[in-house]
Structure 1
Amino acid sequence: MTHSLYLKFVWFTLITMIISSLTSFFVMNTYYHQYVKKENDKKNAAIAAEMSAYLEGLSSDQLSDAFEMLGASGYQLYVEDQSGSGSFYGGEYRDKTLPKEVISTVIDGEVYHGMRDYPRETFVTGFFANELKNSVGVPLEADGTKYALFIRPNIGLLFGELRFLFGGLGIGLLLLSVFGMIIAARKLIHPITHLTNVTKKLAAESFDEPINISRRDEIGQLAESFDAMRVQIKQLMTKRKEFVNNVSHDIQSPLHTIQSYLALLNKPDVTKEEQFAYQKIIHQETSRLSELTKQLLALTVLDESLAVQDQKLLSINKQWLDTINHNRWKLEEKEMSLSHSLKAEDIKGNATLLQTVWENLLNNAVKYSEKGGSIHIETDNNEDQVTIIIRDEGIGMSEDERKQAFERFYRADKARTRKTEGTGLGLSIVKKIVKLHHGSISIESEPLKGTSITISLPKG
C-alpha cells in the first residue's frame, strides 16, 4: 500500500507538470496570436520602411553590398525588381513561395503584412515559421528601378546559441524537478510507512514501539496524536487485563470457598454446629458473588449511558436520612455513632443512581472504620451547587492509595484478606454516577486519621 501511494504521488506530480506545461503553452500561443503577432508585424514593418528609406539613396552597384550587409545583421531579405528578377540575402527561407500578385502590389506601393496575416498554427507559432509569406514587404525605388523588399528576423541566427542554452536549461529544470519530487515523495511517504508498521504492531497488541517522527507539519501533528493514542491504548489494555484478572480473582475466590465447604458438608461425621457454620459461610460467599455481579452490571450500564435518564426534582437530605435508617444496623453492629447536618436544597437528578452513591459512601465509611468510631454527614448549598461531605475516623489512605481509589477493583487491602470484604468497585460506580450528573468528587485522607469525601452537584 505504501509503494502504491508513493507511485501515485510520483505519477500525480508528473501528470500535473505535463498538464501545466501544455496549458501554459496553449495560453501563451493564444496570447501570441491575439496580441504579440500584430505588434511584431508592426515593428518589423517599421524596420523595413527604414531600410527602404536608406536604400533609396544608393546606386544599383551599391545595392547588392547593402543587401548583403543587412542580411548579415540578422534579417532574411528577399528582393525582387519590376522585371521579376529576385534574390535572397541573410539565410534561406524554408518555404519560398509567395503569390506574384502580392509582389506586384508591393512594387506598386502597398505594404505587405505577412506576419500579421499569417494563418494561426497550434504547435509552431508564426514567430518561428521560416516562410517567405511570413514576412513584411515594403516598396523600394532606387536608381530608377522599383523593387519589392521582404524581410523577417533570422531566428536561427538570432537565437541559434540561445536555443541550446534554453533547451539545456529546460531539460535540467525537468530533471531536477523530477529528482526533487522523488526526494519529497520519499520524505512524505516514509513517516506514513512508519505509522503503518506501528499500526500493524498495535493490531498485534504490541504497544512498546514509540513513533520517532520529529516534524512540525501536519504529519508531525498526526504522529504526535498517534503516539498519544498508542500510549492511551497501552494503558487501556493494561487496565483491561487488570480488570479481567481482578474479576477472575473475585469470582474464583468465593467459588473456591463455596466448593470447599460444600465438600465438608458432604462428610458423614459433620456435626450440626459445623453444618450451621459451613452454611453461614456459604451464604456469605454467595451474597458476595451476588453483590459483585450487581456492581459489574451497574458499571456496564453506566459505561453505556450517554446521559442521566429519568431526572426529577429530589431531596438530597431525605435520601441521606433513608440511607442512614437502612444501614443503622451496621452502625449498631460496630457500635459506631453518626451525626449529620443536612441543609442542601433540592436538586434535579436520577433518584436511583444518587441513592446508590450514598449507599456506597456510607458502607465504605462503616467498613473501613474501627469499632466505636464516628461518622459525620454534611450537606450544604454553594452558589448554584450543593455540596455533600462524609467524614469518618477510619483507617484512612496513603497518597498513592488516594490517587488510585476510583480505579476499578482497587483496594488498599492488596493482600485481599477477608478482614475487609468488598468488590473494589464502589468508588468507581460513585465517580461514574457523579460524572453523569455533571458533578465532581474529591478525597482527603491520611492513614489512621480517617477519610473525607466531598461531592459537588449542580442544582439544575
Structure 2
Amino acid sequence: MKTLYVRIVVTFLLIAVISSAAALLLSNSYYSAKLRDYNEQKILRISQEIRGLYEEIPGLAPGEYLTRIANMGFQVYAVDDSLRGTFYGSPFKHKEIERDTIVRVLNGETYHGVMEERHLLLVTGFFENSIRNSIGLPVRSGGKTIALFIRPDMEQQIGEVRILMALLLGFTFLLSLVLIVISTRFIVKPVQKLTEATNKIVGGDYNIRMDVTRRDEIGNLARHFTQMAQSLEKLDQMRQEFVANVSHEIQSPLTTIQGFAQSMLEKGASPEEERRYLRIIEEESRRLSSLSKELLTLAALDKETSALKPSSFRLDEQIRQIFITTEWQWTEKELQLQLDLPELVIRADSQLLHQVWLNLIANSIKFTRPGDTISVQIRQEQQEILVSIGDTGPGIPPEDLPHIFDRFYKGDKSRNRSRSGSGLGLSIAHKIVALHRGSIEAKSLPGEGTLFQIRLPKL
C-alpha cells in the first residue's frame, strides 16, 4: 500500500465500512427507541383481531381458520391444552420455546416475545424467524383454550422488498467501488504529472506544461507549480548570468594588469609610460578590490548572515557626513546642493544604511553634469520615514529603469568601465533596504533627472 492510488482506494473502502457500521448502530438505536414498541403493539393488535374474529364465529374449525390466516401472510403456532402444537403457514426457522411460556399463555397470560432482548443489535430481532419472536395469546375454542403464537411472515409480506433492498445496497456498493477506482485515477493523475514535472526540473528542464484550467485545489497547485518552475528558470538564468558577469568583471581588469605589466617587463616603454601604466594597474587593482568587497557584501546579504545590528543614530547627521566625505567630488563638478534634513533619530543598522546613502549620492555625483543640482530630503510620516535623493542629471532611459536594481546591470553601455562601476551598488542598496523591511523606488525622465525614494518603517 505504497502508492497514493492504492491509499485513496483503501481509504474510501474503510470509510464505506466504518460508515456502514455507524449507520447500523444508529439504526439500532432508533429501532430500540422508536420502532420496537410500535412494532410490538402493531403485532399485538393484529393478533387480538385474529383472536376476536375467531371467537365471534361459533363452530368455526380452528385448523381451516388458522390456515387462511397463515395464507394472509402470518406464521402461526397453535398449542392445545395437551401441549400438542401445530404449525400453520411458512415454517419457523427456530421452533424452540419454553414449556413454561406455553403454560402461562394457556392460563390466560399474553406473551410479548418481540420485547424480549436476545440480540446485541435489537434491530436484527425484527427479522428473526423464531417462535420466541412472536405474540402469544390464549384463544377459547369449543370450551377449550388454545395458546396461539403469531408473527408476520416477513418472507411472504415483504420478501420482494427485502430482495430489492439487498440488490440495491449490493449494486450501490459495487458501483461505488468501481467509481472510486475510476475517480481516484483522476485525482492521482495530476499528482503523477507533478512528480514527472519535478523530475524534469531536477534535470534542468523547466519547459513543463500543467493543466492550469481546473478551478479546484489541484488546479491551484498546478498554477503555483508552474509559477515556481518559471521562477526557478529565471533564477537559474540569473545565476548563469551572474557567473558570467563576475567572470567578465574580473577578467577585464586582470587582462589590463597583465598587458601593462608585460609591457613593463619587456622594457618597451619609456619612464613616463611606465608611470602611466602603474597608475592604470593601481586603478584596476582598486576596482578588483572594490568588486570583491561588493560580491562578499552581496553574498552575505543574500544569505542574511549579516544580521541587522540596530542602533539609534541621527539620520540627518549621517547623510551630512556623506556629503562632507564626498565634498571634493561635488565641488569639482560645481554641483548645487539642496538639503532638507530635519533632526531625526532612527533605529536601524547604521553601517548598512550608510552604504545605501553613499551609493545613491555617489551615483548622483558621478552621473550628473557640471552645474547640476542634487537634492536630499527627509520626511517623517505616520508609520514610516521617507528619504528622497534626486538630481537634475540626464536621467535614466525608460527601458533601463525596471532593471537598475538587477545585479551587474549597466544601462549606458557607452560609459567607460571606470566610470560606470561594477553594477552591484544599487543591488546592494535594494537588498539592505529590504532587510530593513522597507522599499526603494526610482523615478526618472530622460533629460530631467532621477529621484530615488526610500521608505523605512519606524522601529
TM-score (norm 1): 0.89
Structure 1 segment 69-80 matched on structure 2, within 5 A: 69-80=68-79
User: How many Å apart are 1:26 and its aligned residue?
Assistant: 4.1
What amino acid does structure 2 have at the position aligned with 1:240? R
Q: 1:392 to 1:22 in 2, by over 3 A?
A: closer
Aligned partner of residue 3 in structure 2, secondary structure: helix
User: How many Å apart are 1:50 and its aligned residue?
Assistant: 1.8
User: How many Å apart are 1:321 and its aligned residue?
Assistant: 3.7
Aligned partner of residue 116 in structure 2, secondary structure: coil
Contact 1:246 1:409 in 2 (8 A): yes
CA distances 1:324-368 after superposition (whole Å, capped 9, x unpaired)? 3322333455x4333333432223143322332232223222322
1:361 corresponds to 2:357: no
Tell me which residue corresponds to 2:314. 314
User: How many Å apart are 1:312 and its aligned residue?
Assistant: 1.6
- Show structure 1 runs of 4+ deviating over 6 A: none
1:397 corresponds to 2:423: no
Contact 2:81 2:145 in 1 (8 A): yes
The partner residue of 2:379 within 378, 381, 395 is 381
CA distances 1:95-120 after superposition (whole Å, capped 9, x unpaired)? 33334443333222222222323622
CA RMSD of aligned residues (A): 2.8
Q: 1:254 to 1:48 in 2, by over 3 A?
A: same
Tell me which residue corresponds to 2:323. 324
CA distance in 2, matches of 1:267, 1:125: 111
- More displaced, 269-278 or 32-41? 32-41
Tell me which residue corresponds to 2:338. 340
User: How many Å apart are 1:73 and its aligned residue?
Assistant: 0.6
Tell me which residue corresponds to 1:45. 44
Tell me which residue corresponds to 1:94. 93
Q: 1:369 to 1:381 in 2, by over 3 A?
A: closer
Q: 1:437 to 1:99 in 2, by over 3 A?
A: closer
Aligned partner of residue 408 in structure 1, secondary structure: coil
What amino acid does structure 2 have at the position aligned with 1:312? S
1:10 corresponds to 2:9: yes
- More displaced, 185-194 or 35-44? 35-44
Q: Which runs of 5+ in 2 are unaligned?
A: none
Tell me which residue corresponds to 2:291. 292
User: How many Å apart are 1:245 and its aligned residue?
Assistant: 1.5
Q: 1:148 to 1:320 in 2, by over 3 A?
A: closer
Q: 1:118 to 1:351 in 2, by over 3 A?
A: closer
Aligned partner of residue 253 in structure 2, secondary structure: helix
User: How many Å apart are 1:292 and its aligned residue?
Assistant: 0.7
Tell me which residue corresponds to 1:267. 266
1:107 corresponds to 2:86: no
User: How many Å apart are 1:280 and its aligned residue?
Assistant: 1.4
Aligned partner of residue 56 in structure 1, secondary structure: helix
CA distance in 2, matches of 1:355, 1:261: 36
CA distance in 1, matches of 2:96, 2:198: 73
User: How many Å apart are 1:409 and its aligned residue?
Assistant: 0.9
CA distance in 1, matches of 2:435, 2:101: 96
Q: 1:136 to 1:351 in 2, by over 3 A?
A: closer
CA distance in 1, matches of 2:280, 2:204: 42
Tell me which residue corresponds to 2:425. 426
CA distance in 2, matches of 1:455, 1:79: 103
CA distance in 2, matches of 1:115, 1:388: 90
Aligned partner of residue 209 in structure 1, secondary structure: coil
Contact 2:211 2:219 in 1 (8 A): no
Contact 1:373 1:393 in 2 (8 A): no
Aligned partner of residue 206 in structure 2, secondary structure: coil
Q: 1:206 to 1:144 in 2, by over 3 A?
A: same
What amino acid does structure 2 have at the position aligned with 1:341? L
Q: 1:159 to 1:426 in 2, by over 3 A?
A: same
User: How many Å apart are 1:60 and its aligned residue?
Assistant: 4.2
CA distances 1:365-417 after superposition (whole Å, capped 9, x unpaired)? 232234x3423233343545665444444442210112211211111133674
User: How many Å apart are 1:167 and its aligned residue?
Assistant: 1.5
Q: 1:34 to 1:391 in 2, by over 3 A?
A: closer
What amino acid does structure 1 have at the position aligned with 2:311? Q
Contact 1:395 1:448 in 2 (8 A): yes
Q: 1:389 to 1:106 in 2, by over 3 A?
A: closer
Aligned partner of residue 140 in structure 2, secondary structure: strand
Percent identical among aligned pairs is: 35
CA distance in 2, matches of 1:102, 1:151: 14
What amino acid does structure 1 have at the position aligned with 2:178? F
CA distances 1:412-434 after superposition (whole Å, capped 9, x unpaired)? 13367436340111122223333
Contact 2:314 2:343 in 1 (8 A): no
Tell me which residue corresponds to 1:22. 21
1:250 corresponds to 2:249: yes
CA distance in 2, matches of 1:121, 1:378: 88
Tell me which residue corresponds to 2:196. 197
CA distance in 2, matches of 1:269, 1:319: 49
- More displaced, 354-363 or 388-397? 388-397
Contact 1:314 1:351 in 2 (8 A): no
CA distance in 1, matches of 2:132, 2:438: 91
Q: How many residues align?
A: 456
Q: 1:59 to 1:297 in 2, by over 3 A?
A: same
Q: 1:416 to 1:180 in 2, by over 3 A?
A: farther
Aligned partner of residue 406 in structure 1, secondary structure: coil
CA distance in 2, matches of 1:389, 1:196: 49
